[in-house]
Structure 1
Amino acid sequence: MRALPVGRHALLVETGGPEATAALHAELERRRAAGLLPPVREIVPAERTVLLDGVAEPRALAADLARWEIPPAPRGAGREIRLTVRWDGPDLAEVAAAWRVRPEEVAEIVGGARFRVAFCGFAPGFGYLTGLPERYRVPRRPTPRTAVPAGSVALAGRYAGVYPRSSPGGWQLVGSTDAVLWDPGREPAALLVPGTGVRFVTAAGARGTGAAAEDAPGRPGGGEGAP
């Protein structure tokens, strides 16, 4: 790890990769919850970095971080969100062909994966989800769409994600959900925050009836640039 000062009260910690970032983020949150971390206002993970903001003595914390032994990020613990999905994305058949499976099997593969929110970005409420096996990674579309509907469930590279609002995007669209990913009147406003487990559940019935999202505290949990 390399800790770089950002202004007078922040550190940007370079980790070297997504797995190391997840491990450091989990350890920071664990130590903060246990009262073992100096006061930090915000801990913000990205793909290869973690930003620590609101640090009283960043140099002292940087020196302390260099001595830490950081275990792998724990799996199968903590909060899990289950998103009810209709597998009706316009790229479903194309993704199925790339995986050499039937379109209906895409739902089984994605629904069987245990995802984790690695970090957030691109737009408020957009979480980059890891957990899809490497053999199922697909590239971004060669030409992005000018408008992707809100609630679209998408895949690109090592990540899955759900578009919180209509926006341009180049990820492969395989499904849709009615879940509200971003609500300024909610605390936290983002439904999917870093460290949260995510499962995609097939909607009941042909028209996808049922709740759009279900919070399951304590249940097992699990960029390709801008989406």
Structure 2
Amino acid sequence: MRAIKVPYLKHSELDHAAAELLRKYSEWKGSPARPPIDVDEIVEGYLGLDFEVANLREYLGMPDVLGATWLEDGVVRVDESLEGKDGRFAFTVAHEIGHWVLHRPVIEMEKVTLPLFSSKPDAEPKPAIVCRAQARKQPAEWQADQFAARVLMPASDVRAVAHALHGDGPLELAGLDAGREARLLIPELRSAADGIIADGNFNNVSNEAMCYRLLDLGLVADINRPQRSLF
């Protein structure tokens, strides 16, 4: 499966895209979308897509596949290996939503100019987007990850809980920068993430995902690092 060529998106553009999805979903359901964000309902209800849990690894012949989206058929599938792993499962669903919102228009335009997804009349339809567990992310996969984090952990909700627990400034942690340099999430950061998850009802979010969200939002900082205002 080839990599999707996508335009560069700024963080602010990803913020806006995720916020718009949640706004429109809230209008559709008639009440504000609050954590835990029901990504299954977004897929099946608001977007009107078919959603299935399947043995994608066998079906697609890829041992590391997590999810896939069939654009023409309007189908999102998540691999059955993620069942029971609430954080990974919801993040994968939100990731596929990201592809649908951000990248479907790009792929549809490509199909007009270059029929890369054409197939024989009786051929089994193939997914336009396949998401695999890979350490090195292609731009489209990185964008979908960032979108998923913003949908599952809206900045306003995360900030509200963090400020209620730790005050208005960032939570200062010893060894945070050293841990990041070593590509480690220090225990104190994981503990802070657990607190946000519990108090904010982010019960379909993994500890790891919340750790990175706190870092991205500047809600945690190394105790020895000069501080900047959050606003």
Q: Same fold (TM over 0.5)?
A: no
| Larger fraction in helix | 2
TM-score w.r.t. the length of structure 2 is 0.26
Decide which structure has greater strand share.
Answer: 1
TM-score (norm 1): 0.27
